[in-house]
Amino acid sequence: DTQQACVQSAEQQLGLASRCLATLQLDRLLGLSTHAHDHVHWLPDSNLFIYTTGDMLVTHDLRILSGKAANYLPAGSGEISTTALSPDRTLLAVGSAADGPCSVWDVSCSPPQLCSRLPGHEGGV
């Protein structure tokens, strides 16, 4: 049956793509503008690529080949000025240059979940 052959072929190609992704390492990123080096995170165990733009946290699940791979999460009250991963790489802290709250995200979930918003602070982060 032609349809079943197409499905099997697609499954084989997806399996090959997944195995290839598991061996890739991020060498450089082109076309991303950010004023700080810590705004880009690659989590190879989960194929999650994280970056910020303005006051948004953007996550891309590279295992998903459709247009639903990206999540755009409002993470700050102004332009995000810093991000930091926990040692176990499951939590991401996000701070903005404004006097707003810092947010902590669980990036081991899909999509990432907001864990906490820490109270506002005085001055930039």
Query: Would you write out the chain's pLDDT as a tens digit for each of its 125 residues?
Result: 676 766 666 666 666 666 666 666 666 555 555 555 567 888 888 888 888 888 888 888 877 766 677 888 887 677 787 888 999 999 998 887 766 678 899 999 888 899 998 876 666 55
**91-96, strands of its sheet edge to edge:** 80-85, 91-96, 102-106, 113-118
The model's pTM: 0.65
105 Cβ contact partners less than 8 Å away, ≥ 6 residues apart: 57, 73, 75, 91, 92, 93, 94, 112, 113, 114, 115
Give me 25's structure tokens: 């390492």
Cα distance between residue 11 and residue 49, in whole Å: 23
